[in-house]
Amino acid sequence: MIAAAKFPFRPTVLLPKPTSNRPLCGGVAGFCLGFGPEQGAEQSKPFSLGRKIEVMEVIRKLSKGCFVDHRKKGKKGLKLEIESVSGGEEVFDAASTEAKVGPEHLVVMVNGIGGSAADWRYAAEQFVKKLPDKVIVHCSECNSSKLTFDGVDLMGERLAGEVLDVVKRWPEMRKISFVAHSLGGLVARYAIGRLYELFPIVETTGLSGNFSSKEQLNDPIQDPTHCFEARVAGLEPVNFITFATPHLGSRGHKQLPFLCGVPFLERRAPQTAHLIVGRSGKHLFLTDHDEGKPPLLLRMVNDSDDLKFMSALSSFKRRVAYANANYDYVVGWRTSSIRRQHELPESNLLVKDKKYPHIVYVERETTEKFPNVASSMTGKQKIDLEEEMIRGLTQVPWQRVDISFHESKQRYIAHSTIQVKSYWLNSDGADVVFHMIDNFLL
């Protein structure tokens, strides 16, 4: 439209010598625009370089999301890059990564059911803008769209493989943290169980420290002469943060709020969930009994022979559960904050934070001591499945952060607003993202 209105030329495409080895979405290495005469007229000189740059800028803005490599300039010369890679998107400051001492902290962001890497883009950008020389953010893409129906276990295996690929791509990384939304929190909990390992840190004898078997490396009892430290994907685990994650599943009264607590609907939901969201539905409603085993979410509150779920979770320096106290029609308050009904804060006690207006309650890290969860019995009556999961998960300290969008026009989409899935629709959740970043442990 611009060319037709102002210039009596028709657009043509000139292909210059490639200036970058980074592909564009259509497989073209690079292009610029020139303008020639109208059809039938003699060929004129290509359009001026200045005009080409202007037109290119217009096209770049119109086609945002198509290019593999986006570069944005922030304050003080910050060059924010969003680079699509195999398995997701990576956000980092170009100047910091090229410095002698670059970022050493990898933040892995995991989407929820039906989501994609783009769901965390706003939060990832804020992370790098605030901590450009500290973090590199990877937004996972291995479990997107319909792949989120495959079940927590298969998704967790895919995420674990993706994280290992990212670590190989950034060998300078020393620390790792996870930030996950909704079902992604369960997937991340599974993945860290797969990625958990123990590494020797101190030798107290003259032994060489070269281990011939993985069993010996991961069993300090077999080799008491060594001290060990926990690693996730070979890195030091720091933060494990979830947003509106159904840690206790979706089974139970008002754990799936859009059913409005109607008993008939809550009884029918476990029987039909798999028809809508596949194996993930079975896992969320604890109706899976693969090979006669207990439900997966129940198994994930203990270590198993090859998956150290709780050891991995306890290896992180801090664990935080952000939960919507109201207006979340997908995930209930109890399940997302890992609490019993009587432990939920009274609504009239919720006090707003001036800096973070939608943060209404912060419960500092707490832990509970219970007998072995797997064998918890009261006489002949086994304790409730939800209670078992609470007892298992609260063996390690959790900080709970309760969110309320009660006065927001975006309250009815609180499940997406809490992570700012789309800034245009969920901008009121920005203070929650900033709260996470401001309290992030480096």
Q: Is the pLDDT of residue 5 over 50?
A: no
pLDDT at site 242: 98
**3-class state of residue 318 by DSSP:** strand
* Contact status, residue 179 vs residue 200, Cβ threshold 8 Å: no
| Contact predicate 227/202, CB 8 Å | yes
Please name the residue ranges forming H helices in 285-339.
296-299, 309-315, 333-337
Which phi and psi (to 5°) does residue 109 adopt? -110, 130
244-266 tens-digit pLDDT: 999 999 998 889 997 888 887 88
Q: Extract the tokens encoding 57.
A: 């800028």
Classify residue 54 as exposed, middle or buried by CB count within 10 Å of its CB (0-12, 13-18, 19+): middle
- Selected from 3.40.190.150, 3.40.50.300, 1.10.3720.10, 3.40.50.1820, the CATH number assigned to the domain covering 73-438 reads 3.40.50.1820
pLDDT tens-digit series, residues 283-319: 999 999 888 899 999 999 999 989 999 999 999 999 9
What pLDDT is stored for residue 388 in this prediction? 95
In the predicted model, what is the mean pLDDT of the chain? Answer: 81
pLDDT-wise least confident of 38-52, 195-209, 401-415, 428-442? 38-52
pLDDT score for 372:
54
Residue 439 identity (one-letter amino acid) = N
Instruction: Report percent pLDDT > 90 for the chain.
Output: 58
Cα–Cα distance between 415 and 409 in angstroms, integer?
Answer: 13
pLDDT (0 to 100) of residue 237: 98
Which pLDDT band holds residue 366 (cuts at 50, 70, 90)? confident
341: left (phi over 0), alpha (psi -120 to 50) or beta: alpha
Whether 49 shows a pLDDT value over 80: the answer reads no
Report the predicted TM-score, pTM, of the whole model to 2 decimal places.
Answer: 0.78
Q: Which of 32-41, 121-130, 244-253 has the lowest mean pLDDT?
A: 32-41
Residue 171: count other Cβ atoms within 10 Å of its Cβ: 7
Q: Contact, 123 vs 91, CB < 8 A?
A: no
Q: Write out the two tokens for 63.
A: 């086609």
Sequence spans of domains, the chain: 2-62, 73-438
127-175 confidence digits (pLDDT tens) = 999 999 999 999 999 999 999 999 999 999 999 999 999 999 999 999 9
- To the nearest 10°, report the CA torsion of 390, 395, 398, 402: 20
Residue among 304, 249, 259, 311 nearest 280 (CA): 249
Give the pair of three-digit tokens for residue 351: 């006090």
pLDDT at 406: 92
